[in-house]
Structure 1
Amino acid sequence: MIRAVVFDVGETLVDETREYGTWADWLGVPRHTFVAVFGAVIAQGRDYRETFQEFAPGFDLYAEREQRAAVGQPETFGEEDLYPDVRPALAALRERGLWLGIAGNQTTRAGVILRRLFADDVDLIGTSDDWGAHKPDTVFFERVAAAVPHRPSEILYVGDRVDVDVLPAKAVGMSTALIRRGPWGWVEWTYPRSLSEPTVRITSLAELPSAIDALGSASALDES
C-alpha cells in the first residue's frame, strides 16, 4: 500500500542537459566532447566525477562549484529545466491523496531552488547537504524514512539509477520506481533484473498514478 512518493532530483525531475553544457564551457571543452566522455564513464560503471578528471586531472568538483558561484556562474536550474511530465504527475498524485516529497544528492544552493519551485507542490524537500548523508549511503534513506509520516514499506522512491536509488531504498524497506531517462536511466535499465529489479519500471512520470493504483494506493484503501 503506497501512501507516500518521494522523488530524486537530477534526471527524475530536472533535465540536467543544460548543466552538463555549462560544465563543458567551464572546462573549456566542446560540449559534445564532454557529453561523449561523460557517457563513456557511466557506461563503464565508473563514478561520473571521473569525467572531470579526463579533462583536468586533480579537478575538485566541490571547490570548482564554489569558484563558479564566486564569479557569478553557479550551478542552477529553473522551471524550463523540469521535464514536461513533472507538474502534471505531481498534481495527479496529490489528487489521489498521496504524501509527496523530493530528496536527492543536492547542494544547499540547489535546495533553495527546489523550495522556490516546489514549495506549494510537495510536503518535504530534503538534500544530502541538509542531512549530511549522500546516496547511496542507506543513512540518506533512513533520513527520508524518518521525515515521512508513513512506514518505509508505504513509501515509493522514484529515481533514475539502480545503484544510487533503487538498491539503497530497497535496503531500508521502501518500494522503488526506476525511470528510464537521462544517461544513467538508459544505461542501468539493462542491469540484470535478478540483482536490481525495482518495484515498478516507468518511462515517464505520467505512468506513476496507474502504477501506484496497481500496487494499491492510500486512496484505494480509503475507498474500500
Structure 2
Amino acid sequence: MQPQMTTDMAVETLRQLRRSGRIRAISLDLDDTLWPIWPTIAKAEAVLLDWLAEHAPGTAAHLGDTARVRALRHEIVALRPDLRADLSGLRRESIRLALTRAGDDPALAEPAFDEFFAARQRVELFDDALPALQFLSQRWPVVALSNGNANVHVVGIGQHFRASLSASDAGMAKPDVRFFHAAAEAAGVAPEHVLHIGDDAALDALGAMDAGMHAVWLNRGRVAWPHEGREPHITVASLSQLCQGLADS
C-alpha cells in the first residue's frame, strides 16, 4: 500500500485546491461521516423489537435479538435484489417477512417500520460534524449524498444543505456516477467543481473520482488505503482537518 497522506500534506493540498477556485460546491456523505451509523442502527433495532414484543409477540419471540433482526435484513437483500438501493424498502420487507413467518399480520410491517425509522433518525453527531457543516455551508452550497435513509431535516441539520439525495429516493446508489452527477446538478455546478467528502474508500472516494469530482477520503480510523494503484485526491483524519485546509488564510 502507498503511504498515507500526512496532515500537513492534506492541509496544503486543500489550500491549493481552494485557492485555485475549482471548488464551487460540496457533496457530503452522512453515515459514518457525520455520525457513527452502527450504534444508531443497533438502537433502532432494539426499538423495533420492543414494539414487536407489544404488538406482534410471536414475531418478537421468533427474532429473539438484534442479531437475528440484522440477519433477516441481509437475507432480504438476496430475496429482493430490486430493492438493493432502497434501504427503507429492504428494512420494511424484512419486517414483513418476519411477521409472515411467525404467523402475525404482515400489515404490521408499516407501523413497525415507522417506529424503527423514527429511531434511526436519532443520531449522535461526531464532535467535529456540526462545526464543519456550519463552516462549509457558509462558503459553498452543500448537498448530502447518501446510500442510507437518514433525513437531514428530521436529524436537525437540514438548514446546512442546499439539497439532500438518498439512494432510496433516487433509485441508484454510490458509486454510480449518475448519483454523483445528480448531486452536482442539485448544487448547480459541473462535477469537476464539486468536492466530495465521505468515509467509504470505494463508494465515496473512488466513486467521486470516477464521476470527475475532487475526492476527499475521511479516514477517521487511520487505516491503510485498500485500493492499490488508485489513490484518493486528499485524505483527512477528521472534518476539523478538512476545514483547516479549506479555511481562508
Using the size of structure 2 for normalisation, the TM-score is: 0.63
Matched, 1:204 2:223: no
2:140 to 55, 79, 98: 98
Note the 1:1-224 alignment, pairs <5 A.
1-22=22-43, 25=46, 26=49, 28-29=64-65, 52-53=70-71, 58-60=75-77, 61-62=90-91, 63-64=93-94, 70-71=111-112, 73-75=115-117, 76-78=119-121, 80-95=123-138, 97-107=139-149, 110-111=150-151, 114-116=152-154, 117-181=156-220, 189-195=224-230, 197-213=231-247
Asked if 2 retains the 8 angstrom alpha-carbon contact of 1:68 and 1:74, the reply is no
State the one-letter code of the partner of 2:127: P
C-alpha change, 1:118 and 1:161, in structure 2 (3 Å) is same
Query: Within 1, Cα distance between the matches of 2:213 and 2:206?
Result: 10
Distance 1:118 1:56 in 2: 28
Which amino acid is the alignment partner of residue 21 of structure 1?
A
Tell me how far apart the structure 2 counterparts of residues 134 and 80 of structure 1 sit (CA, whole Å). 22
SS at match of 1:157: strand
Displacement of 1:79:
6.2
Give the partner amino acid of 1:106. G
**What is the CA RMSD across the aligned residues, in angstroms?**
3.0
User: What is the percent sequence identity of the aligned residues?
Assistant: 23
Aligned partners of 1:56 and 1:14: how far apart in 2? 21
Moved more, 166-175 or 79-88: 79-88
- Residues 66-87 of structure 1 show CA distances to partners (whole Å, capped at 9, x for unaligned) of 7665225313345651112111
Q: How far apart, in 2, do the equivalents of 1:137 and 1:94 lie? A: 25
The equivalent residue for 1:38 is: none
* Unmatched tracts of structure 2, length 5 or more: 1-21, 50-62, 78-89, 97-107
TM-score by length of 1: 0.69
Instruction: List structure 1 segments (4+ residues) > 3 angstroms apart after TM superposition.
Output: 22-29, 55-62, 65-69, 75-80
Q: Distance in 1 between matches of 2:30 and 2:245?
A: 20
Q: 1:19 to 1:68 in 2, by over 3 A?
A: farther
- Distance in 1 separating the partners of 2:233 and 2:201: 12
Shift of 1:192: 3.9
- Taking the aligned partners of 1:127 and 1:171, their CA distance within structure 2 comes to 19
What is the one-letter code of the residue matched to 1:81?
E
Q: Name which one, 1 or 2, has greater alpha-carbon Rg.
A: 2
SS in 2 for 1:102: strand
Unaligned runs of 5+ in 1: 35-50, 214-218
The one-letter code matched in structure 1 to 2:153 is R
Answer yes or no: is the 8 Å Cα contact 1:4–1:148 preserved in 2. yes
Distance in 2, matches of 1:57 and 1:150, equals 37
**Shift of residue 159 of structure 1?**
0.7
| Contact kept in structure 2, 1:131 and 1:143, CA below 8 Å | no
